[in-house]
Structure 1
Amino acid sequence: MLDITDDGHVRTLTLNRPDALNAFSEALYDATTRALLDAADEPEVSVVLITGTGRAFSAGTDLVEMQARTTDPDFQPGEYGFPGLVDALAAFPKPLVVAINGLGIGIGTTIIGFADLVFMSSQAKLKCPFTALGVAPEASSSFLMPALVGRQNAAWLLMSSEWVSADEAQRMGLVFAVCEPDDLMDEARRHADVLAAKPLASLMAVKETMVRPIAEQVRAAKEAEAAWFMKLMGGNDNARALAEFTKKD
């Protein structure tokens, strides 16, 4: 479900649910959150690199579980779930590198807002399907995406539910570099190694001083999004979208 490997001072977290396009179940949310918390506390880890297996980086939240959350009174959420992962990403004190190897949907795209460097396969593509699902944005993306790519690019990304190609993602400023598929991990790892060779205290100082000025806006966006998500999830538009999705399966 989540593969964790260390090489030097770089820890790689590989999402490994390829049959589900690496969609985040409650269990995968918990595993990834724990891995980030552990990496934050591990003095031998200077950089974390996140990627996926198969043809997807991550298809976002597991929509079968999302439907169960609204229809099954016995649904059991995870220990951390989606909110815990977002909190761990927002608080992660070390450089975070993301290598998008394939489809990135939902959190598979909005994680970019918390990354320090993002590499993307030329064959990958991104989508924020919030309006198609009748829900709100997530992961403080309503603040982080306009800050990263500007108001209009963010509006298209968050409102249209359309795919964004790797070239378009780079033009917007969503990603640091676009790589050929076979070169993606080598290039992401090369940059991670450059960072990991620097003093950890200095890396953390740079990140903390970059993140601190926006921390309150990130928190406020998360809370506003969560309120809208609770209001819209299970509503007619959301229920219809989820029913259509599960019917496809």
Structure 2
Amino acid sequence: MTLQIDDRARVRTLTLDRPDALNAFNEELYDATTEALRAAAADPDVAVVLLTGNGRGFSAGTDLLEMHARATDPAFVPGKHGFVGLVDALVDFPKPLICAVNGVGLGIGTTILGFADLAFMSATARLKCPFTSLGVAPEAASSYLLPRLVGRQDAAWVLLSAEWISAEEAREMGLVWRVCEPDDLLPEARRHAELLAARPISSLVAVKRTMTEPLREGIRAARDRENAAFVELMGGPANLEALTAFAEGREPDFTRLPAGW
């Protein structure tokens, strides 16, 4: 199992459970999380979903070894839903989604916060969008959602730099709502989740719909732009150098790439 599911007080807790891989999303975990979100959306006894990770990581993003295989192995077999299915499920999720960032969050482990209604973060956790260090484009409508969430310049730094963002920096820019000591993170996130879950589900859904409906067209357009850029860059010289360097345990060297890369 790559995902733990627990129900209590109308809160469904989803715990990403690949701790040895810092909860990086392989195809199995993408599929399991997608199906869990869809099931929670349809379950009349679930009011709120709380998403967190097991171990030292919240999520290290897409599993880079699988990403390398996808780019280089013609026989690679993708999952049923994959990354696109997870983002579809996040866009469509009608109930409050609370993220408790317990450890490192890279890639989708950061951009998923654009879909969170509330985000809590451990004081020792860190976030990173490593797109430029991987030679690829943004994902999950982050090019649209992050500027709205944190402002253009903070979003530009997060998306362009591929640098680590501390918990305090994430709180100051508005990427997360609360920063907690590690032992307080889940109790505090759960306390807020259960407070919301005590409200009428129909009202929670109505509030979220009225807040997110105006964003849908922007999200769709951003995903189209990002996907086109990702297809163009995936498997290109910069991306292959980044993935090869990761597989070989070294830092990528982009200075020797052809002009324009």
Structure 2 runs not aligned, ≥5 long: 251-261
**What SS class does the counterpart of residue 6 from structure 1 fall into?**
strand
Matched residue, 2:259:
none
Matched residue, 2:118:
117
Code of the residue aligned with 2:3 in structure 1: it is L
1:103 and 2:104 aligned: yes
TM-score (norm 1): 0.99
Aligned residues: 249
CA distance in 2 between counterparts of 1:188 and 1:223 reads: 33
Note the C-alpha offset of 1:8: 1.4
CA distance in 1 between counterparts of 2:122 and 2:169 reads: 12
Cα deviation 1:185-235 (Å, max 9, x = unaligned): 000000000100000000000000000011000011011101100100000
CA distance in 1 between counterparts of 2:59 and 2:71 reads: 22
Structure 1 runs not aligned, ≥5 long: none
1:223 and 2:224 aligned: yes
1:23 and 2:24 aligned: yes
CA distance in 2 between counterparts of 1:153 and 1:194 reads: 31
CA distance in 1 between counterparts of 2:63 and 2:218 reads: 27
Matched residue, 1:130:
131
CA distance in 1 between counterparts of 2:230 and 2:67 reads: 12
Code of the residue aligned with 1:247 in structure 2: it is E
TM-score (norm 2): 0.95
Note the C-alpha offset of 1:47: 0.1
Return structure 1 stretches of 4+ with deviation > 6 angstroms: none
Matched residue, 1:80:
81
Matched residue, 2:142:
141
CA distance in 2 between counterparts of 1:50 and 1:248 reads: 30
Matched residue, 1:155:
156
Code of the residue aligned with 1:134 in structure 2: it is G
CA distance in 1 between counterparts of 2:203 and 2:27 reads: 34
Cα deviation 1:58-109 (Å, max 9, x = unaligned): 0000000101011100000110000000000011000000000000000000
Matched residue, 2:179:
178
RMSD, matched Cα = 0.7
Matched residue, 1:91:
92
**What SS class does the counterpart of residue 15 from structure 2 fall into?**
strand
**Within 5 Å, which residues of 2 pair with 1:2-21?**
2-21=3-22
**What SS class does the counterpart of residue 98 from structure 2 fall into?**
strand
Code of the residue aligned with 1:221 in structure 2: it is A
CA distance in 2 between counterparts of 1:186 and 1:40 reads: 23
Code of the residue aligned with 2:186 in structure 1: it is M
**What SS class does the counterpart of residue 43 from structure 1 fall into?**
coil
1:188 and 2:189 aligned: yes
Code of the residue aligned with 2:223 in structure 1: it is K
CA distance in 1 between counterparts of 2:186 and 2:71 reads: 38
Note the C-alpha offset of 1:248: 1.6
**Within 5 Å, which residues of 2 pair with 1:228-247?**
228-247=229-248
Note the C-alpha offset of 1:177: 0.1
